Amino acid sequence: MGKITDKFGRPLQDLRISVIDRCNFRCTYCMPQEIFGRDFAFMPKEQLLSFEEIERLAAIFVDLGVKKIRLTGGEPLLRRDLPVLIHKLTNIKALEDIGLTTNGSLLTTMAQRLKDAGLKRINVSLDALDDSTFKEINHSNVGPDKILKGIDKAKEVGLEVKVNMVVKKGRNDKEILPMARYFKNRGITLRYIEFMDVGQTNGWNFNNVITKKEIFQMLSGEFELEPVDPAYIGEVAKRYRYRGEESEVGFITSVSESFCSTCTRARIAADGKMYTCLFSDSGFDFRELLRSEKTDEQIKSFIMAIWNSRDDRYSDERTEESAKNKKKIEMSYIGG
């Protein structure tokens, strides 16, 4: 059918699908322990989209122009038999790329199965190499060594690996340079993510943000960096290469240098709701449509109507006041 565009001419070409709302960490950035404690009521199984429903919906989106799909969570590796879903998605014609975002805690046992299912690349969330800092952020007894072993295993089996680090002032900013050194020496791309006001519970304010400019200045004191052209329209990360090497570092700058004007991404939550922005306050229920008698063409029409009327520009318009007052979906629910 070809590409569809929103009110600002942004095409729909990138789809994030959250396959589960649970996580085995209680990260202070997206699942604060005081909110998501041991007794928190996550979705019952019947509310989650089945693999067949995800496959059908993904195929419809691909027919509308989506080229890339990324599986998220929660922690997607907690979804039972996830490689079965990956294998199903790899068989969708015209889909060019499938990725997965994970906290890496299960990679040592899952990496080979993911690769065998057809997955080509993963993004691993890792916010510190220091053991005490890592455990403080994730409220778990799991240390960074386990995640690093998982990253090594993923590379060993042939998966492309990138590492994402959310930087929060006073929490893990001392880890900026150690992380750069570690992953530069291993030829792994590290991407620094500005601390964002996703959801209602992470206590965000501007004073906790370390901007791309500040991080870049810190790195420039030790490394020579040269800019890299975007690989495709709508690429989120601003990329740099260490001079004379293939290793890269990137920055995701939703706060200091917003990229709403080139956003081509839609999100499907684990229960089938579609969101047109990471900072949305409401979604569109596709689980009900999938479980009704609606045809693929009818569902396609719903997607087109939603995307054609999309006018999201939250990061362009963000103020500290709007960040406090606007209701937003939690990261653990909508995915990254």
Known binding-site residue numbers for GTP? 16, 70, 101, 162, 265-267
- The whole-angstrom separation of Cα 247 and Cα 226 is 11
Is residue 275 within a helix (H) or strand (E), and if so which, with residue range? strand 273-275
Residues at the annotated binding site? 16, 23, 27, 29-30, 70, 74, 101, 125, 162, 196, 260, 263, 265-267, 277
Residue (of 86, 42, 71, 47) closest to 285 by Cα position: 47
Strand 284-285's sheet: what is its strand order? Answer: 225-228, 238-242, 248-252, 189-194, 160-167, 121-125, 97-102, 68-72, 14-18, 265-268, 273-275, 284-285
Written as one string, the DSSP assignment of 170-212 is TTTGGGHHHHHHHHHHTT-EEEEEE----SSSS---GGGB--H
- List, as residue ranges, the binding site for [4Fe-4S] cluster: 23, 27, 30, 260, 263, 277
Which residues sit in the known binding site for S-adenosyl-L-methionine?
A: 29, 74, 125, 196
Using CB atoms within 10 A of its CB, is residue 150 exposed (0-12), middle (13-18) or buried (19+)? Answer: buried
Please name the amino acid found at residue 316: D
Q: 102: phi > 0 → left, psi -120 to 50 → alpha, else beta; which?
A: beta
